[in-house]
Amino acid sequence: KAGVTQTPRYLIKTRGQQVTLSCSPISGHRSVSWYQQTPGQGLQFLFEYFSETQRNKGNFPGRFSGRQFSNSRSEMNVSTLELGDSALYLCASSLTGGPKIQYFGAGTRLSVL
Amino acid sequence: TQLLEQSPQFLSIQEGENLTVYCNSSSVFSSLQWYRQEPGEGPVLLVTVVTGGEVKKLKRLTFQFGDARKDSSLHITAAQTGDTGLYLCAVVGFGNEKLTFGTGTRLTIIP
């Protein structure tokens, strides 16, 4: 069974641009969560989607948004990029909700110049 | 203020030695998970502990959930170079399904 796939693996953008990251969950998994990982703040929860609906949201500004498609694939968008958005963005999928076993992808490393 | 504090932040020891890392909070949690993250990869779940006082063993790794469900420890016996990585604890609070991660312990095992 294929694992969680995130594309692209690396991305370089400049301030003010926007970016879209993609996540394909494990087949059959309906929940997709997104996290931001930085050396200073650690791993922080962005949001979770389940059956195309946002179910939970972390404390990030509205520039961070996401969506989930009917095939459970998810995209995350960051608009008006800031230098502080440079981070490793991780996607995790799980079968259902609840205290869950999450399977993480390898992440997309975003650098904002 | 971090919800979950992990200590030590960095640990570097010789292969074959034993070590313990800690995850502490002032809050009570319904369950706690430990992950290991290797460079260039996402975190991988090692164990979930649910019951206060619970002890789980995974080969050379021993995980303990505190009696009051506020803290946890991970003990590694006879460390190997393959144990190198970032160790993260994560908790689920009562009444919500969000995972909150700790600050992490970066472990390096020297051959």
pLDDT digits (tens, 9 = 90+) for B55-109: 999 999 999 999 888 899 999 999 999 999 999 999 876 566 678 899 999 999 9
A90 and B42 within 8 Å at the Cβ level: the answer is yes
pLDDT 10s digits, A24-34: 999 999 999 99
> Distance from B97 to chain A by nearest Cα, in Å?
6
User: If you count residue pairs, one on A and one on B, with CB atoms under 8 Å apart, how many are there?
Assistant: 53
Residue showing tokens 């009570």? B28
Within 13 Å of residue A80, how many CA atoms lie on the same side as its CB? 4
End-to-end Cα separation, chain A, in angstroms: 37
Write the DSSP string, B16-64.
T--EEEEEE-SS--SEEEEEEE-TTS--EEEEEE-STT-EEEETTEEEE
pLDDT 10s digits, B20-54: 999 998 888 888 999 999 988 999 999 998 888 99
Selecting from B2, B31, B43 the residue whose C-beta is nearest the C-beta of A99 gives: B31
What's the confidence (pLDDT) of residue B45? 93
> Distance from B110 to chain A by nearest Cα, in Å?
23
What's the confidence (pLDDT) of residue A1? 64
Residue showing tokens 């995350």? A76
User: Mind listing the pLDDT tens digit of every residue in chain A (113 residues)?
Assistant: 679 999 999 999 999 999 999 999 999 999 999 999 998 888 999 999 999 999 888 899 999 999 999 999 999 999 999 999 999 999 999 987 655 788 999 999 999 99
What's the confidence (pLDDT) of residue B1? 46
Reading the block at residue A60, the tokens are: 């990030």
B42 and A55 within 8 Å at the Cβ level: the answer is no
Residue showing tokens 């997309």? A108
For A4, B20, B97, the CA distances from B31, given in Å and listed in that order, are 24, 20, 11
Three-state secondary-structure class, residue B3 = coil
